[in-house]
Amino acid sequence: MINYFRMTTLVRFVAVLVFLATPFLSTPLLSQGRNYGRSQVITQQGIAATSQTLASQAAVQILAHGGSAVDAAIAANAVLAVVEPMKNGLGGDLFALYWDAKSGKLQGLNASGPAPRGLSPELLAKQGIQSMPQQGIHSFTVPGAVDGWWKIHQRYGKLPWKDLFQSAIAYAENGFPVSEAIQESWADPVNHPRIKSNPESMRVFLPGGKAPIEGDLFRNPGMARALHLVAEKGPDAMYKGEIGAAILKTSHSLGGTMTAEDLASFSAEWVQPISIDYRGWRVYEMPPNGQGMAALEMLNLMETVPPTPLGAFSAVEMHKRIESMKLAYADVHRYDADPHTYDVPVSQLLSKEYARTRAALINPKKAKCDVPAGQPIGSDTTYLTVVDKDGNIVSWIQSIYSEFGSGVTVEGMGFLLQNRGAGFTLEPKHPNVLVGGKRPFHTIIPAFMERGDVHIGFGIMGGANQPLAHAQFVSNLVDYGMNLQAALEAPRFTKRTSTGCDVSIEVRVPAATLQQLSERGHQIAIRREYTQEMGRGQAILHNSKTGTNYAASDPRADGAAMPEPIR
């Protein structure tokens, strides 16, 4: 049986041997107690769920002082910029969904920035660059996060702006002990060439020439300075002031094309979320230029077949999910782009009729390795979610894209510039082709779902992993009756492309399922029990009838769901 699987390490090989030696239980799992590790957090106060406990703590402190869900999210995001600097920060973009408990309305905020106006395929070609750079100064786009923080705070914030950054500033100035999962990202040798390509990045993030390890105290005075400026002067510090000047100086020194006009003209955009019905639940995602429509199309495809009584981790269910993912991803890679420059056929791609047509391509007995896009008619990231005592929910995701982004750190400011420009293509006729002033295809997507009195903000980060992780989470809840924590902890698969039969699966999936998937033609790479490769998620549920809040935090990260303390 082991020959069916491509093992990546001896440890994983041993783990499978142990798993195969364990007899299967004939009685239901529920009779044996729960099969997930943590309890949900349940309270009638607010809750913050983030990927790092220091950020969760900062958020609930804001809630306890009368702050809104948005206030708490900004405070948490600022702390995450300090304690997870390779994943998010001032140099990245932001997307958020906000559910207003009083009106019952959901709004989206797209704070993703465009390419510099002076950047073009022709300019890159003159420099001998034939494909879109994945790192370096030409992969950098206008960072939208700070303006996004400001705009959503102006509409939904309660506390003074400057009060939201105090915890983050303190951790940057005084230091914080590096946590377990973040140490893995920092120490990964794959990231070191990216950091070492830029002297400022190496100085800031490899102190003494090496990555800090778990428990090491890491200080970032440059980021403290930048956060002080944002706290005191708002977004003008970023787009027109001292931070912006440092960004431009860094860009120009490396041959970049960013201008003062590029920064000063940026404005985050309020947008209408897109949604589908999935077996009686309304599931919402952000519209393009994000990839949220891939999650919704995948759910539409899965809905064409009833849930199997064999369970969420059966070969029947997992095969359906994997094959649905390939079809949805083929479409998102073909059609997704900035809607200001291309009329993305969202409604056609998300129609139930189109889903039935595409689902007919799924062979229940065989994996399909070459999946073309259909013809419709007509990372690395941080995710957090907060509910306040009034029931308002924010679903929030922020990123500098790849681990350590572009690899370029702004001189004297201690934060990395994103590499979102890597999301463009240089194919001349593709809707996502690079154009100066245009936003690239984006991977980060916050999500929301509701039915009746139940409202859930959720997200699972990790680049191309996100739509398929969202769909697995929704199916676990809706089709198989799991609670938030069980659905989030459940073993997942991931796949980064629509082509090929390769798929990575956590070893907690039953061995019989792995064998049957292999027999269907899936080329399986078995991963450890809880791996960041599957994404790091958070989820919050508000029951508007009872006023009770529930939350879950993914054990694949260093975080926690924390309740607001009663003062």
CA distances to 13, 46, 111, 374, 534 from 92, in Å: 38, 27, 9, 32, 22
The sign of the torsion formed by the CA atoms of 219, 225, 230, 232 equals positive
Under 8 Å between Cβ of 417 and 246: no
Cβ neighbours for 101, distance < 8 A, ≥ 6 positions apart = 390, 391, 392, 393, 542, 544
Neighbouring-strand partners of residue 143: none
Look up residue 51 and give its DSSP letter.
S
CA distances to 178, 296, 397, 439 from 335, in Å: 40, 14, 23, 14
Please identify which residue in the block is written with the tokens 């400057």.
Answer: 162
Please identify which residue in the block is written with the tokens 């107690």.
Answer: 33
Kindly give the pairing relationship between strand 523-527 and strand 5-7: parallel
Structure tokens at 460: 């699972």
Please return the burial class of 474, using the count of CB atoms within 10 Å of its CB with bins 0-12, 13-18 and 19+.
buried
Look up residue 361 and give its DSSP letter.
T
Cβ neighbours for 18, distance < 8 A, ≥ 6 positions apart = none
Can you say how many angstroms the Cα of residue 538 is from the centroid of all Cα atoms in its chain?
A: 10
Number of H helices, E strands in the chain: 20, 20
CA 99, 100, 104, 105: dihedral to nearest 10 degrees?
-60
Look up residue 459 and give its DSSP letter.
E
Structure tokens at 13: 């090989």
Please return the burial class of 480, using the count of CB atoms within 10 Å of its CB with bins 0-12, 13-18 and 19+.
middle
CA distances to 91, 133, 200, 241, 260 from 410, in Å: 9, 19, 8, 14, 15
Q: Which of 565, 564, 562 is nearest to 41 (CA)?
A: 562
From 43, 141, 250, 381, active-site residue = 381
Is residue 397 helix, strand or coil?
strand
Q: Please, how many CA atoms are within 13 Å of residue 295, restricted to the half-sphere of its CB? A: 38
Asked about 381 being catalytic, the answer comes back as yes
Cβ neighbours for 236, distance < 8 A, ≥ 6 positions apart = none
Other beta carbons less than 10 A from residue 57's beta carbon:
19
Instruction: Write the single-letter amino acid at 441.
Output: F
Please identify which residue in the block is written with the tokens 């949220």.
Answer: 292
The residues carrying an active-site annotation are 381
